[in-house]
Structure 1
């Protein structure tokens, strides 16, 4: 499925495979392959920079998998005629089994996208191995999973140093000696990756801007980063009508699950075409940075449970000032409904009762290690969702011969963030304080001082208006046939959006992307070819 694979062998028929970018040297992998203590493999699963998973055949009939804790290099298993089969792609296993989309998983995906659905994936009969768990298929007995990872603790200066080193190494192992490109939106996340890549060699920095507006805001900040690093070859991509959201939705590429870029596929594919012209083979994107460094105030619930009432009142008031609202609802939620602080309770009137009931029947609390607070569990769930769906974006990029990478979804980067308390990570006065401290001295001061980044909601309104008929047709499609969506309600909301009424695009995009994915799912059995080998 296009995943980078490295292998090492040892005496006794032991075979080790590493999937995904990994900072280990060949000699380190060879030494690991000789080890017999599984705890050494547990440690190795997060010992190096990158986003990788381990697979071990111990030579005696037992087999082991270590998907990464951040969920960015997912692994899947299925059973065929009593035999366990595994793959780095759920679509690959679905093609082998002739699977159809899992309706219960789809319901959970629409109701609570970041929630864990144990024993399931987007395809019936295919199970995702829980991130951070060691999956064992013993010589005798049924397969089982046990957790192998939990985050460590550190003080703020140590976490800053860890994050700086791990981010730098994560970029280095991906771009060193290769034709590389990076998003360069002018925001803190993409600017950080572009700057680290520029320290490794030439890199193409891509900046989007509306046609006719080549200065101001994001564009000026992107130019400041490019000026600071002469090895950045700055390229601008003017966005016009042909790049609008909801444009050219028919040729959607089938992926492991619905891809976040489904409704903005026209812009994404034009970007891939530009990168191909520039000769890039690997592309960096800052997706995942907001989840790590700009969390909602879920830590208020931890403050309430630990009796830190003065800090609770202070942060709730700061949150109220930030959003010009009363602090009392946030304080009440901290005591009675922590999920509301993370946005889980936002109404989704287009979903019917069947979707909610079905989702509740398959959703688990989470797969977080024991002892984590509300905020850390929320962050881990969000990060794993971003990591898993980032793998689908890489599948889209592969159609253009490009590897897409998201260093902010790497396990070591996530560990560095989780190593400090949630209350320390959150701030109403500083924008992404942990990342800002980590890249101090790397980026121009005007980029570090930014308080936000530009939004593109207006483009969605324009795109919907230009493609109104085809988008409205999506409302009465496969999801409606499955009994998960109320078409009339969805059409009403979309028509309001056409008129310019503000709607929750962050919730509607995954819904429409899921409908498009379902329509492409008919080609699942043709997507991956399996070969029998003697």
Structure 2
């Protein structure tokens, strides 16, 4: 597992992870197979940048000399990439900057009265001997993307909120304050900025490396593969059902590969052995439940293929749908600002798109915005205890004042994708693969949020902001496509093939914790076996959480620590 961290023990007696490379001492900092750049300046000031970052060495040297924290606040999202900043001011104060998009998460815990921090909550849980946090689990099941301040998936370990600066002063208790907010721009400025930040975000990750990229035929992965191909050779991986090597997504992927000679196209045929819910015991323990837990068989086969092909860096398009294809939550902002003509027009467009009445959307805009975001759907498999526990710890705050409903929703969803992408990267690391998700970069999120939410949404154009940004980069037929293939049928087939093992999950750890109603969950799963449409988007986090809890009980490989005199 790749991670980094440090300890602020007053007398240099802090524990240290076995096998870590020392970065500093007093206060201690270390890295484990992680990209880090460090700069020192007069007065004993030390600056470290963890993760891929587009800053030049002179820029970091100038920053390290600064004594104005506002300059560091700006720097925390000034460059392409996904990175965190750490500053030892040389006078006893230590500060961390958690990136605004949440894709480089930071966690803190207390050991013998001294703070210990890390990019992995599992690492800190291993140090503390922590068990999974039941309140966090309840919130995760009730509303997976919700903010749960002061907690993580492990008891005694707290996440530093994204976009916050955490400071351990020389005298006094550590505290965190928000430092980031998006700034507005015109549509054309946002398009130019998005184009540049995506290109730079890919460049700083792939330069001089053996690179692979998802190439599904969709707009998100095709964009990343194209930018990577402009930097050098890249292996493009396309999945397809066995026996179906043409049509739809596969044809679009071929079109992209033909347009870039530096793309070496590799097809991966998916059969019964790759179905969802297969080989569930292959999961390794991660910081929190991984979104791809139920599709781990396909994921592991892909990682094995990439390792066989010699890839060391892999790009995925995760996060693209969240940024560029939002639900119509902006209707709530239109209602509150009195833009009733636009509200009526967009609600009608939404109704035509889904062949339904626009009036429920209008009513929700006035009285129940959560329905527009799809977060108010019933979850009958949760117990009352789970619901009450979740409500007691969930916070609507994002750390950014003055945002409209749609922007708050986007920010919350994007930060969830960014944080959980880190767990997917931990799965990839088990195969020696360094996985990256440029759509979760702070600069990319800022570019999207710089334009009004009502402009980002469209019932007539597919991902309009991204489409405008990649015009001229990708073949026209790929840019103009309206959607991408769906794979819900694979879940039904996978569930049918692994029915006994999946039904066992209904009576597992979550039931023992009193968070789920096993009978209701079993009934729903049996209906899915028969082909009845079920809310997979809600069930997958639940089943993935059960699998994660099982792994937390059986995992033999956790982060090992040693005491230092």
What TM-score does the superposition give when structure 2 sets the normalisation length? 0.93
The residue number in structure 2 matching 1:144 is: 175
The residue number in structure 1 matching 2:421 is: 390
Q: Does 1:359 align with 2:390?
A: yes
Residue 277 of structure 1: how far off its partner (Å): 1.1
- Give the 3-state SS of the residue equivalent to 1:295 in structure 2: coil
Aligned residues of 1:94 and 1:524 also touching (Cα < 8 A): no
- Give the 3-state SS of the residue equivalent to 1:205 in structure 2: strand
Instruction: Quote the Cα distance in structure 2 between the aligned partners of 1:102 and 1:13.
Output: 39
Instruction: Quote the Cα distance in structure 1 between the aligned partners of 2:252 and 2:522.
Output: 39
Q: Does 1:380 align with 2:411?
A: yes
The residue number in structure 1 matching 2:29 is: none
- Give the 3-state SS of the residue equivalent to 1:260 in structure 2: coil
Residue 33 of structure 1: how far off its partner (Å): 1.7
- Give the 3-state SS of the residue equivalent to 1:178 in structure 2: coil
Aligned residues of 1:94 and 1:525 also touching (Cα < 8 A): no
Q: Does 1:90 align with 2:121?
A: yes
Q: Does 1:400 align with 2:431?
A: yes
Residue 11 of structure 1: how far off its partner (Å): 2.4
- Give the 3-state SS of the residue equivalent to 1:56 in structure 2: strand
- Give the 3-state SS of the residue equivalent to 1:200 in structure 2: coil
- Give the 3-state SS of the residue equivalent to 2:264 in structure 1: strand
In structure 2, relative to structure 1, the CA distance for the partners of 1:525 and 1:93 (3 Å cut) is farther
Aligned residues of 1:350 and 1:490 also touching (Cα < 8 A): yes
The residue number in structure 2 matching 1:113 is: 144
Aligned residues of 1:115 and 1:366 also touching (Cα < 8 A): no
Q: Does 1:501 align with 2:509?
A: no
Instruction: Quote the Cα distance in structure 2 between the aligned partners of 1:219 and 1:110.
Output: 35
Displaced runs of 4+ in structure 1, greater than 4 A?
523-526
Alignment of 1:313-352 (within 5 A): 313-352=344-383
Q: Does 1:154 align with 2:207?
A: no
Q: Paired residue for 2:105, among 59, 67, 74?
A: 74
Aligned residues of 2:505 and 2:546 also touching (Cα < 8 A): yes
Q: Which blocks of at least 5 consecutive residues in structure 2 are unaligned?
A: 3-33
- Give the 3-state SS of the residue equivalent to 2:281 in structure 1: coil
Instruction: Quote the Cα distance in structure 2 between the aligned partners of 1:526 and 1:439.
Output: 43
Residue 523 of structure 1: how far off its partner (Å): 5.3
Alignment of 1:347-496 (within 5 A): 347-496=378-527
Q: Does 1:175 align with 2:216?
A: no
Instruction: Quote the Cα distance in structure 1 between the aligned partners of 2:450 and 2:201.
Output: 18
The residue number in structure 2 matching 1:18 is: 49
Instruction: Quote the Cα distance in structure 1 between the aligned partners of 2:119 and 2:316.
Output: 21
Residue 153 of structure 1: how far off its partner (Å): 0.3
Instruction: Quote the Cα distance in structure 2 between the aligned partners of 1:102 and 1:30.
Output: 41
Aligned residues of 2:284 and 2:555 also touching (Cα < 8 A): no
The residue number in structure 2 matching 1:47 is: 78
Instruction: Quote the Cα distance in structure 2 between the aligned partners of 1:366 and 1:243.
Output: 39
The residue number in structure 2 matching 1:28 is: 59
The residue number in structure 2 matching 1:263 is: 294
Residue 134 of structure 1: how far off its partner (Å): 0.4
* CA-based RMSD: 1.0
Alignment of 1:259-298 (within 5 A): 259-298=290-329
Instruction: Quote the Cα distance in structure 2 between the aligned partners of 1:524 and 1:25.
Output: 41
Instruction: Quote the Cα distance in structure 1 between the aligned partners of 2:447 and 2:564.
Output: 43
The residue number in structure 2 matching 1:215 is: 246
Q: Does 1:311 align with 2:345?
A: no
Q: Which blocks of at least 5 consecutive residues in structure 1 are unaligned?
A: none
Residue 12 of structure 1: how far off its partner (Å): 2.2
- Give the 3-state SS of the residue equivalent to 1:250 in structure 2: helix
Instruction: Quote the Cα distance in structure 2 between the aligned partners of 1:531 and 1:169.
Output: 39
In structure 2, relative to structure 1, the CA distance for the partners of 1:394 and 1:12 (3 Å cut) is same
Aligned residues of 1:497 and 1:503 also touching (Cα < 8 A): yes
The residue number in structure 1 matching 2:162 is: 131
The residue number in structure 2 matching 1:244 is: 275
The residue number in structure 2 matching 1:4 is: 35
Instruction: Quote the Cα distance in structure 1 between the aligned partners of 2:552 and 2:39.
Output: 36
Aligned residues of 2:178 and 2:399 also touching (Cα < 8 A): no
- Give the 3-state SS of the residue equivalent to 2:166 in structure 1: strand
Residue 31 of structure 1: how far off its partner (Å): 2.3
Residue 13 of structure 1: how far off its partner (Å): 2.1
The residue number in structure 2 matching 1:57 is: 88
Q: How many residues align?
A: 534
Instruction: Quote the Cα distance in structure 1 between the aligned partners of 2:491 and 2:240.
Output: 15
Residue 40 of structure 1: how far off its partner (Å): 0.9
Q: Paired residue for 1:184, among 215, 231, 244?
A: 215
Aligned residues of 1:244 and 1:264 also touching (Cα < 8 A): yes
Instruction: Quote the Cα distance in structure 1 between the aligned partners of 2:35 and 2:139.
Output: 30
- Give the 3-state SS of the residue equivalent to 1:209 in structure 2: strand
- Give the 3-state SS of the residue equivalent to 1:214 in structure 2: coil
Residue 525 of structure 1: how far off its partner (Å): 8.1
Aligned residues of 2:282 and 2:296 also touching (Cα < 8 A): no
